Amino acid sequence: MANLGAFFHRARDREPGPQIMAAAHGRVNLIGEHTDYHQGFVLPMPIPQRTIVTVRRRTDYLVRASSNAVVPGVSEYELGDEARGAGWIDYVQGVTYMLARTGRSVSGFDVTIESGVPPGAGVSSSAALTVALLRALRIMCRLEIGDLEIAQLAQKVETDFIGAPIGIMDQMSCSLGHPDEALFIDTRSLHYERITWPSRISVIVISSGVVHAHAGGEYGVRRRESFAAASLLGVRWLRDATTGMLAGTRLPDPLDRRARHVITENQRVLDAVEALRDRDAERLGELFNASHRSMRDDYETSTPEIDAMVEIAQADDDI
């Protein structure tokens, strides 16, 4: 971290003033996979790992950023000249771009980013970064932005600037989630409810080691397939489809399986919330297992590594 210390030492020489720190946790999604971009239900939960950003106001329009998650050095750009394609700093550029687009005035600043949220591990490293930075700039520039709007702006960083066609679950979880609580979200109304996690049920999060990205690959393919299925069922969002509609319409394979996953996954989230309220660990486990089978067989988003981990966990009587 010596390079980060030297970076702020230089910033201190140029512009005296307090440093402002803010943080956001990563998240794991308990159940509700690939439902948020169909305005469905999700049930994420924060993880202990978090991203911490430290900002200091500048007197010019320059933004200089350094991160412990990338090679040592400082990346920079000028406010108003944000342009996608510069690498990891695109997430910083996206934040200032969206603030300007929504009429918020931001000065130049220096920022260091210290992230304990592993990138590409499916635990929302990019959402943790953008939410943490928005929180810090809210303080530095005295912006009137609530936590829900921070989530909405962070989502637009990814959809409108980065170009990743994602839902809003990650950003809402990182902005609104509390440790030791699950966050039940209706992604259509954006209504959310914090549910205290039962102390007798342990959550164990294990990395599969498989790296993924939202901006391309199978994520984009599945999203397109699911919306094609919705169109054939006569709805805009699979949130509005039912198993009866699916049974009465002969969809081609694999669109029938894509639709079945989203439709049944939405119901599983509702059932999981009830099981959680009832502290019914056995029922919750059954729903988690059914969710995995659906992702593996109907949505085909699982991997051999994840399947093997699930099999090992299911064979362990202590889990």
Give the pLDDT confidence score for residue 213 in this predicted structure: 59
Task: Give the closest residue to 247 by CA, choosing from 266, 227, 264.
Answer: 264
Give the pLDDT confidence score for residue 16 in this predicted structure: 45
What is the full DSSP assignment across 135-178?
HHHHHHTT----HHHHHHHHHHIIIIII-----SHHHHHHHH--
Give the pLDDT confidence score for residue 18 in this predicted structure: 85
Instruction: Output the CA torsion 202→203→208→212 (10° steps).
Output: 180
State how far the Cα of 34 lies from the Cα of 141, in Å rounded to an integer: 35
Dihedral sign of CA atoms 13, 16, 18, 24 in order = negative
- Per the CB < 8 A criterion, the answer to whether 12 and 112 are in contact is no
C-alpha to C-alpha distances, 70 to 113, 114, 194, nearest whole angstrom: 10, 10, 34
Structure tokens at 103: 């009429």
Length of the chain: 319
**SS3 state of residue 98:** helix
State how far the Cα of 94 lies from the Cα of 101, in Å rounded to an integer: 10
Per-residue confidence in pLDDT tens, the chain, 319 aa: 334 344 433 434 445 458 999 999 999 999 999 999 999 999 999 999 999 999 999 999 999 999 988 777 899 999 999 999 999 999 999 999 999 999 998 999 999 999 999 888 889 999 999 999 999 999 999 999 999 999 999 999 999 999 998 999 999 999 999 999 999 999 999 999 999 999 999 898 888 878 765 545 688 899 999 999 999 999 999 999 999 999 999 999 999 999 999 999 999 999 999 999 999 999 999 999 999 999 999 999 999 999 999 999 888 877 6
Give the pLDDT confidence score for residue 64 in this predicted structure: 97
Q: Which helix (H) or strand (E) holds 269?
A: helix 255-277
Give the pLDDT confidence score for residue 217 in this predicted structure: 65
Beta bridge partners of 22: 53
- Per the CB < 8 A criterion, the answer to whether 218 and 301 are in contact is yes
Give the pLDDT confidence score for residue 120 in this predicted structure: 82
Instruction: Give, in degrees to the nearest 5, the angle at Cα 147 between 141 and 151.
Output: 100
Q: Which helix (H) or strand (E) holds 226?
A: helix 217-233
36, 170, 256, 298: the active-site residue: 170
Asked about 170 being catalytic, the answer comes back as: yes
C-alpha to C-alpha distances, 205 to 48, 138, 260, 306, nearest whole angstrom: 10, 31, 27, 12
What is the full DSSP assignment across 159-225?
IIII-----SHHHHHHHH--TTEEEEEETTTTEEEEEEPPTTS------------SSSHHHHHHHHH
State how far the Cα of 69 lies from the Cα of 218, in Å rounded to an integer: 25
Put simply, whether the predicted model's pTM sits higher than 0.85 gets the answer yes
Residue keyed to tokens 């003033």 = 17
State how far the Cα of 187 lies from the Cα of 65, in Å rounded to an integer: 32
Give the pLDDT confidence score for residue 71 in this predicted structure: 72
